[in-house]
Amino acid sequence: MTRTVITGISGRMGSTLVRLAKAASDLPVVGATVRPGSPFSGQDAGLVARLGAPLEVVAQDDLGRALDGAQADVVVDFTGPEATLQHARICAERGVALVVGTTGFTPEGRAQLQEYAKRVPMVAAPNMSVGVNLVIRMAAELARVLGPSFDVEVLEAHHRMKKDAPSGTALKLAEVLMEALGRTKDDLTFAREGQTGARPPGEIGVQALRGGDVVGEHTVYFFGEGERIELTHRATNRDQFAQGALRAARWVAGRAPGLYDMADVLGLQGKT
């Protein structure tokens, strides 16, 4: 049994996590949170997460209160960067493992998470889908084999409510492509407009589309002379992100402190 606390349960991912954890036999939901001051605070978590039935866990507007007496093994957090950093501090202070799905951290925020992970085990990944994590590895491998003669571009599309751009996944793809091709952050281009001139060799383009209810789509293009490869992942619902996060929750509880990613959870060995 992995005693689980879920934050942000009125949100798209939080509510999905509550539904899927409830359906699992080994992940009792022992606590749940909503943002401070939320009208959902004090209500039953099952109703807040729109399960249509009570869960008999009260939604708290503070993670500390949700953890009090809960004997939690792990907290699963998909909220926003500021809230996640507060939650990570509380987990570090209380010695509770953490799964972070939140994206949009500043470099300082990421460094702060790394500090907290010295005290508790933490899985942090911008995308918990098994498929995306395989695509990330395949993209790195393609880049290594194809080499510098192919122009590389990353395109992502998400729903109109997404707050950060480019997506955390697109940034992760750009990072592994950079490493595979021996490029640096200076080679990344996030937008083009006007008299841009010819595409500089070694550039890696990263572009974001926003609209409607798109769950999450990522394509890595390798443009060559006379041929082109497109590596695409399309998420058609949020359940697979949540199932990945719950898999991470089972995996991380009881581990040694440290910052882990989904490659560790999935047992994907070797370099990306």
Ligand X SMILES: O=C(O)C1=N[C@H](C(=O)O)C[C@H](O)C1
Ligand Y SMILES: NC(=O)C1=CN([C@@H]2O[C@H](COP(=O)(O)OP(=O)(O)OC[C@H]3O[C@@H](n4cnc5c(N)ncnc54)[C@H](OP(=O)(O)O)[C@@H]3O)[C@@H](O)[C@H]2O)C=CC1
Known binding residue 87? Answer is: no
Known binding residue 13? Answer is: yes
User: What does 11 bind: ligand Y, ligand X, none (CB cut-off 5 to 8 Å by kind)?
Assistant: ligand Y
CB-CB neighbours of 64 under 10 Å: 13
Least distance CB 87 / ligand Y (angstroms): 7
Known binding residue 15? Answer is: no
- Residue 31 contacts ligand Y per CB under 6 A: no
Instruction: Give the type of residue at 118.
Output: K
DSSP-derived secondary structure letter, 271 = -
In the residue annotation, 233 being an active-site residue is answered as no
Of 193 and 213, nearer to ligand Y (C-beta) is 213
**C-alpha distances in Å from residue 51, one per residue of 56, 127, 199:** 12, 24, 50
User: What does 4 bind: ligand X, ligand Y, none (CB cut-off 5 to 8 Å by kind)?
Assistant: none
In the residue annotation, 162 being an active-site residue is answered as yes
- Residue 216 contacts ligand X per CB under 6 A: yes
Which CB contacts under 8 angstroms, 24+ apart, belong to 20-26? 20/239, 20/242, 20/243, 20/246, 21/76, 21/246, 22/46, 22/51, 22/55, 24/246, 26/1, 26/2, 26/250
Known binding residue 159? Answer is: yes
Q: Fill in the per-residue mask, 109 to 128: x = in contact with ligand X (CB under 6 A), - = not in contact.
A: -----------------xx-
Active site residues: 158, 162
